[in-house]
Structure 1
Amino acid sequence: MTSDCLFCRIVAGEIPATVVHETDTTLAFRDIAPKAPVHVLVIPKAHHTDVVEIAKADPGLAGQVLAACAAVAEAEGLPEGGFRVIFNVGRNAGQEVFHVHAHVLGGRPLGPMVMA
């Protein structure tokens, strides 16, 4: 755990979150500023900065994060209508919390991938 990391503090139970899915290695909770009717963040409980770092350091855990994304999408009823999984990497991509996290978004048409 990194004491100054928001998501590490959520994992530790120091900051509340609306948890929708949890495994031994992952945690999924609702985004506090949702961009779609369903907007869930999926994180590994262990601290890794971004998806590139976790893929290099622990590919198995990276796979568990993706499996958790699929479980969240299924539980939220998203597969039939479609959904999006997004990893932002770095400030230019909009990463605000430097603990790897996937955004699972759905529940309405999401439009183009990148806004001009």
Structure 2
Amino acid sequence: MADCLFCKIIAGDIPSTGVHETDTTYAFRDINPQSRVHVLVVPKNHHEDANELANHPNLLAALLKAGVEVADIEGIKDSGYRFVFNTGDDACRTVFHAHLHVLGGEQLTDFGR
């Protein structure tokens, strides 16, 4: 998708700090980290959100597997980490390309409000 920030990152048009890559996923550091470790895992093909990914269970599984691999690479697999998908306006989604947040590396606060 021509206007999509993450599609431009995947294409190499916008620089990113890559962490992990597979045939179907790309993981890179968030430019506005919310924890010591904050990596985004995105499908290489454009899918708008988790609702759309639900129609592609193999890709959804690949994103989760890549997220676990990122946790291992970042040294947080054993200490704990959080996966987050933001979908829809109430979740404050800002980029309309499905992405999994991998957060950790420190004690995370309670979830929600």
Task: Tell me, yes or no, whether TM beats 0.5.
Answer: yes
Structure 1 residue ranges, 4+ long, deviating more than 6 angstroms after superposition: none
1:81 corresponds in structure 2 to 79
1:1-116 counterparts in 2 under 5 A?
Answer: 2-56=1-55, 58-115=56-113
User: Within 2, Cα distance between the matches of 1:40 and 1:19?
Assistant: 9
Deviation readout 1:54-96 (Å, 9 max, x if unpaired): 111x211111011100000011111221110000001210111
Q: Counterpart amino acid of 2:19?
A: V
Give ranges in structure 2 of 5+ residues lacking alignment.
none
User: Within 2, Cα distance between the matches of 1:90 and 1:6?
Assistant: 17
- Normalised by the length of structure 1, the TM-score is 0.95
Give ranges in structure 1 of 5+ residues lacking alignment.
none
User: Within 1, Cα distance between the matches of 2:98 and 2:17?
Assistant: 18
- Percent identity, aligned pairs only, is 53
Alpha-carbon offset, residue 111 of structure 1:
1.1
User: Within 1, Cα distance between the matches of 2:50 and 2:89?
Assistant: 14
User: Within 2, Cα distance between the matches of 1:79 and 1:45?
Assistant: 24
User: Within 2, Cα distance between the matches of 1:71 and 1:78?
Assistant: 10
User: Within 1, Cα distance between the matches of 2:52 and 2:100?
Assistant: 14
How many residue pairs get aligned? The number is: 113
User: Within 1, Cα distance between the matches of 2:89 and 2:72?
Assistant: 30
